[in-house]
Amino acid sequence: MDNRPFYFYTYSAICQYDVFMFQTPTLRQQKKAHNRELLLEATASVIATEGITGASITRIIEHAGLSRGMVHLHFVNKEALLVAVARHMREQYFHHINEFLTTTSPAPAHQLEAIISAELSEQILNRRSINIWYAFRGQCHQENAYMQYADTRDAAMKDKVYQAFLQLLNQPYSRQDGKQDLCSDATYGLLALLEGMWSDYFLHSDEFNRQSAKRIIFRQLSGLFPNHFDLAGAM
């Protein structure tokens, strides 16, 4: 089995490494990169408060403090800018996921706990980011280019979760019958629970409790994998 880390297939695969990344950039390159980042973050902030339809070029450049020509210089047009923002959000999402994964035990139960903790963390689940995610998801049926970036439950994430559950069942004291079906059900069940928590936060952020959300998820996992989880997390 390929033992390369999860982030090899996600964040590193998404980011196209530039040949200049190992060289000291010139002042011009630094300014260009800075302006591009300003446009991405300004567009994201406008989308978070006014939605995609409200993200006009005028509002974006006002927020970024840049000229209209900068949009065309970096992104050609508004639609290309919006797609770049969706991709930017996805890169940030996987960056945070991998921060949690690489700072915990490689044991499968702890890796699963890290994914759950990351998904419900302030870094990923906050009012600004959730507004942006749902703004893009709401437009996916009209703009297919958003779909590849707006769906955080992609094949790599599903495989990571599935393989972790499979490793749990391959341990000597775990149940052996129907492993594949159980792992598949557990994978889709966990991702559905996380998606539900995101929706709950989106609709009721003032009442949302992160610790309660994690306890609910771990309660479900402890029923399926009592040797590996309790209400507090991985054992």
Q: What are the Cα distances from residue 217, in Å, to 24, 30, 112, 191, 212?
A: 46, 44, 11, 10, 9
- Coil/strand/helix, residue 99: helix
The pLDDT tens digits of the residues spanning 127-185 come to: 999 999 999 999 988 888 888 888 888 888 999 999 999 999 886 555 556 678 899 99
225 vs 85: CA distance, rounded Å = 39
Q: Is residue 158 one of the residues assigned to a domain? A: yes
Q: What letter does residue 144 receive in the DSSP assignment? A: G
The pLDDT tens digits of the residues spanning 191-214 come to: 999 999 999 999 999 999 999 999
Mean pLDDT for 35-64 is 94
Mean pLDDT of the chain: 87
Q: Is residue 1 one of the residues assigned to a domain? A: no
pLDDT at 150: 86
Q: Is residue 150 one of the residues assigned to a domain? A: yes
The pLDDT tens digits of the residues spanning 13-41 come to: 544 444 444 567 788 888 888 889 999 99
Q: Is residue 79 one of the residues assigned to a domain? A: yes
Higher pLDDT, 148 or 52: 52
Q: Is residue 20 one of the residues assigned to a domain? A: no
Domain of residue 115 covers: 6-13+26-234
User: How many folded domains does the chain comprise?
Assistant: 1
Cβ atoms of 148 and 155 closer than 8 Å: no
pLDDT at 152: 80
Q: Which residues contact 235 (CB under 8 A, 6 or more apart)?
A: 109, 227, 228, 229
Q: Tokens standing for 215?
A: 């306890």
Q: What are the Cα distances from residue 157, in Å, to 69, 83, 144, 204?
A: 38, 21, 21, 26
The CATH number of the domain where 95 resides is what? 1.10.357.10
Where do we find the tokens 């978070």? 48
Q: Tokens standing for 121?
A: 């963390």
Q: What are the Cα distances from residue 16, in Å, to 19, 21, 91, 157, 183?
A: 9, 10, 11, 19, 32
Q: Is residue 19 one of the residues assigned to a domain? A: no
143 vs 45: CA distance, rounded Å = 20
The pLDDT tens digits of the residues spanning 80-129 come to: 999 999 999 999 999 999 999 999 999 999 999 999 999 999 999 999 99
Q: Where are the beta strands (DSSP E) in the chain?
A: 229-230, 233-234
